[in-house]
Structure 1
């Protein structure tokens, strides 16, 4: 491999050798099959879907066992890697590399801040905020990491005395923010920055393998690169399938709560099929006409629901809780992020390790999507915005929805929210507020629209990876991946429910953790050549 330090233009020059990787060669059914990534990943996932449906009972037992084994044995790997990603991103902000502009010194941003933030937020968190916005804070407060106020107070002297409900509430919110704040967005930022740097500044295809040119050289165009891209496809598809499964569970639960529609497996399957159809139409419309418009509609609906709960709920407590929750998060962060800390096994394995694996499995999808809409930003601007802006929005969301649910439990003695299943907690909380029928309906619509934005943007990303880096692959291929995402979600729901979805997110996220760690080194090497 040639020394990347010897010539700042090395990557652009040597890229000509791999130029044939982005030549479109249309095969049967209008698919671009010249790249083995498409054929291998497509056939493997097809075989997985068929096998899961045939051996449904065995899959229902095997998937949860696989998830539990991975999170219990390798929780320290996930937590350590997550800390490295946060430290790496923050360090880049304060280095001279932060002034490097993605796309070159004269590049201008493709989107305004409002459009950019809308797409970042909708793609990056999506259904998860609707599913966990109420359920996670109330769970941590009552039964998870906080457990009881006495054990919560033993973590750190941040709020109240032992036995104080405020201490449990502070720890419950801190634990929730930990899972939705800096760590997941640092994972996304690493992948997005690597893709943007090597695509826009080095002239390489917009695909995961390109990020490893400093490490592998011309081998990225061979089987080493194929393996990296195939891993990215698996991680993305199963990470998305997990989100789609959560969305189907919650939308079905909402339809049952509001309209009395039975929450059967058939209803979930029909719902996934219908929403996959809408996502397919959005994919056909393209990034600007389809994904961008739906993302902006989504942001408006989410903002309206958030503002409503903020003003009809305990407004004063929510506003003060936003700042106290941030303070609690920063105070508890060293202990929460400690791979060998005092958090119990359920919190570290069942929550944090799963979350980190899920975010990592999402990182190729979210990272590439962020890269596609971030040309023209400086590295410093990019990292600050990708890390801080969505993190603060997540804190606000969790404080408004989770804080309202905790208030209902502490001040009003309501237990219906904490007693409900995870997918029903949002609707149980809204039932206790005015205009519950309207807000619950908006909640269902939001779940569905988040469902669509995740599916359509994910399909565009997988299509880019499997077509060798082309941002506009053949239309039939984009439709193929959009449909396949829905089929995988259906197969996993039938073959084991949410446990199966979580298991596949963890099993694909684990090997991709090491891909992201290597990516940090490649980013550093790529930035070094930019400053010469």
Structure 2
């Protein structure tokens, strides 16, 4: 029946994955519109249960994966390439980095770059630390870097590395289900594997929709500040519709013409904004603070990485750390596949070092400039940013820029950056979801990519209308749990495959329990053809 529906609609997909994912998303929207309060309450209760009973699992999983990736890069497996042994990277390091960042957390940094440090500075989460003190300022920067530094990029790097390895070295389909081939064997290409891909698609849809929702809130605040545009649900839906249309145009152009050019443009604009704030703000304070923040972050990291608020029954970690981890985990399939797509030819060591360190360095600079400058504004009484953050965190960056010369120009530049980050997140996610829902031998149809771009916009609008920021946080904290479990299985599968690879065995031999010496193993070409044929047959 699904194949018949696919033919009538003129689609090129794996019917079970495409229609299951689309159907669940449509049912969610249909139910959320008339029953928005009930749905918001249900997800609120579910989030509370997850935080109370499984918060430790999120914390342990992400920190454990960070240790795993670093150990892998430093091990004998670090020289294995994502591709044939003689392959080389498709993109230069600079282009690679700009695409990494734009597909990752650009929108998030724009939203929280001022809001989070100011929030922790004015409301310290640790007992015995006074608001507005030197210790509060130090802790605020440390927590911001903890939330957006190595741990965040660990969540992106894990699926990215695994997908790149299996896709480019063993020619398996670039889908999440392929990562479980060493564990599931042939079942990875049947209903069990399709279920994994559906989970990945839904996580991507809701994860990116959350980012779009936050970006819309901030964009509405910026336009309200600049042009007096009302800040309400109607305007936010209109903004989502407009940006989704731009994203659909970009996604129709493809990766190189659309996403790459937008990514490079946006990084340039972001650097321009950083430079303006650094030069117009307290430059020496920023430089000193960044140096100290590096030391504070590295010193506190081993403790923070396993901190679970065991002896303090507050709701802080649920609202901040667990929300961030769940949010990042939920859209890890999309960012992971996108990173893998642009990382062919790199060694595992290069990949881990680049994906963990380069964006973390940029994050340090971003929070160093915006976070430290905002704390300085708050300390000197130039503006009551803490009150602004408490009332509406989406307006924090504009209230902050209002203390600078050329405030309107800087705010307008911020709006442009948010729009482009908004667009690159949506269009790159649409490309990835399309890859997850079709076979490698099927063409990527523009209408399918546009459908997924539109789905993200509709879900984002639905979540905003159902409860704004609280609804976004509750839904994503709950839905991130299934993929957190998948990340752990992913690490196990990757290690098993790398161990076999290093000893000269193919993934097929590993699955079938064979142990042929390397000299007797089939050639790379014959293995790759075998993988492709198996995948086509099973799909």
In the aligned structure 2, how far is the partner of 1:146 from the partner of 1:326?
Answer: 20
- Correspondence for 2:31 among 51, 55, 68: 51
Give the CA deviation at 1:476.
1.3
Residue 66 (structure 1) shift: 2.6
Cα-to-partner distance string for 1:431-464 (whole Å, 9 max, x where unaligned): 0011000000111111111100100000001110
User: Partner of 1:351 in structure 2?
Assistant: 320
1:12-27 equivalences under 5 Å are 27=7
Shift of 1:344: 6.2
Query: Aligned residue for 2:251?
Result: 283
Counterpart for residue 252 of structure 1: 220
Counterparts of residues 220-259 of structure 1 (less than 5 Å): 220-259=188-227
SS of the residue aligned with 2:306?
coil
The residue number in structure 1 matching 2:529 is none
Could you tell me how far apart the structure 2 residues matched to 1:145 and 1:310 are? 28
1:363 aligns with 2:341: no
Q: Tell me the equivalent position of 2:174.
A: 206
**Match for residue 512 of structure 1 among 467, 471, 483:** 483
1:80 aligns with 2:60: yes
Deviation at 1:388, TM superposition (A): 0.5
Match of 1:70 among 36, 45, 50: 50
Aligned residue number for residue 361 of structure 2 = 392
In structure 2, the CA distance between the partners of 1:312 and 1:378, relative to structure 1 (3 Å rule), is same
Q: Residue 55 of structure 2 contacts residue 308 of structure 2 at CA under 8 Å; is this kept in 1?
A: no
Structure 1: which 5+ residue stretches go unaligned? 1-22, 153-162
- Alpha carbons of structure 1 residues 41 and 518: separation in structure 2 relative to 1, 3 Å: same
Q: TM-score, normalised by structure 1?
A: 0.90
Partner residue of 1:94? 74
Cross-structure match for 1:187: 155
Is residue 415 of structure 1 aligned with residue 384 of structure 2?
yes
Q: Aligned runs of 1:307-326 on 2, under 5 Å? A: 307-326=275-294
Cα distance in structure 1, aligned partners of 2:483 and 2:300: 28
Q: How many residues align?
A: 497
Q: What is the correspondence of 1:148-167 to structure 2 with a 5 Å cutoff?
A: 150-151=128-129, 165-167=133-135
* Long gaps (5+) in structure 2: 505-539
Shift of 1:419: 3.2
- Output the CA distance in 2 between the equivalents of 1:33 and 1:301: 37
Q: TM-score, normalised by structure 2?
A: 0.89
Q: Residues 204-223 of structure 1, C-alpha deviation per residue, up to 9 Å, x if partnerless?
A: 00000000011000010111
Is the CA contact 1:144–1:346 (under 8 Å) kept in the aligned structure 2? no
Q: Is the 8 A contact 1:190 1:520 kept in 2?
A: yes
Q: Report the Cα distance in structure 2 between the residues aligned to 1:83 and 1:193, rounded to whole angstroms.
A: 17
Contact 1:71 1:354 in 2 (8 A): no
Corresponding residue number in structure 1 for 2:472: 501
* Other-structure match for 1:265: 233
Matched residue SS, 2:33: helix
